[in-house]
Amino acid sequence: DAGVTQSPTHLIKTRGQQVTLRCSPKSGHDTVSWYQQALGQGPQFIFQYYEEEERQRGNFPDRFSGHQFPNYSSELNVNALLLGDSALYLCASSAIGSGSYEQYFGPGTRLTVT
């Protein structure tokens, strides 16, 4: 099991553009959470998907949206990119359907907005 995988590893976008990040959860996991980690800070919760629905959301604007597919993989979309969106985006999976809230993290996608 490769664990949680994320793609791409890193990318560079221009202000105003849109970006899609992808996450495949650990085998047997049904829940995906997304976090933003700015330089020098801890991860900050964006939102969580379970059963293809957004279940909880942190303090992020509507420019941040997501999706979960029937195979439990997930996408994070960010519209109208701002310089401040430059960060490491982490995906974490868990098996909430089995009653386990322990989150396993992926390696992250490094987004740079110029």
Partner 1 sequence: AQRVTQPEKLLSVFKGAPVELKCNYSYSGSPELFWYVQYSRQRLQLLLRHISRESIKGFTADLNKGETSFHLKKPFAQEEDSAMYYCALRSGSARQLTFGSGTQLTVLP
Q: How far is the CB of 17 from partner 1 (least distance, A)?
A: 27
**Sole binder of partner 1 in the list 17, 56, 100, 112 (CB under 8 A):** 56
Site string for partner 1, 14-53 (x = CB under 8 A): -----------------x-x-x----xxxxxx--x-----
**Sole binder of partner 1 in the list 32, 72, 74, 106 (CB under 8 A):** 106
SS3 content of the chain, % helix, strand, coil (to 5): 5, 55, 40
Distance of CA 113 to the CA centre of its chain: 17
| 36 SS3 class | strand
Q: How far is the CB of 16 from partner 1 (least distance, A)?
A: 29
Q: Is the Cα dihedral 104, 54, 24, 51 positive or negative?
A: positive
